Amino acid sequence: MSGKTVTRMELSEAVFREVGLSRNESAQLVESVLEHMSEALVRGEQVKISSFGTFSVREKSARMGRNPKTGEEVPINPRRVLTFRPSHLMKDRVAAGNKR
């Protein structure tokens, strides 16, 4: 593993190379893709990107938790969490690429 971190910058650089828009516009497009996905998820929609994966919102009900340090019981409010299920293609590519 090379252990590098890819950020928005590398993604917009890739868009810039691929499509030939300005760097600034490429960065804005990366941002608006993330923003449209976030908005759909906040509306409670599933976001299904074929051959990439599926983001879904799950409702968690209230439960009693425990502060592991003090042992004290604390109520955990009901909340919404996001889960990502990678596609088979992604799983296969990640497994193949990281094989020793």
Partner 1 sequence: MIRSELIQRIADENPHLYQRDVERIVNTIFDEVTDAMSRGDRVELRGFGAFSVKKRNARTGRNPRTGESVEVEEKHVPFFKTGKLLRDRLNGKA
Residues that bind partner 1 (CB under 8 A): 1-8, 10-11, 14-15, 18-19, 21, 26, 29-30, 32-34, 36-38, 40-42, 45-50, 52-53, 55, 57, 79-84, 86, 89-91, 93-100
| Contact status, residue 57 vs residue 41, Cβ threshold 8 Å | yes
Q: Which residues contact 15 (CB under 8 A, 6 or more apart)?
A: 21, 26, 29, 30
CB of residue 24 to partner 1, shortest distance in Å: 13
Nearer to partner 1, 61 or 83 (CB): 83
Question: Could you give phi then psi for residue 5, rounded to 5 degrees?
Answer: -115, 125
Nearer to partner 1, 1 or 74 (CB): 1
CB of residue 31 to partner 1, shortest distance in Å: 10
Distance (Å, rounded) from C-alpha 10 to C-alpha 15? 9
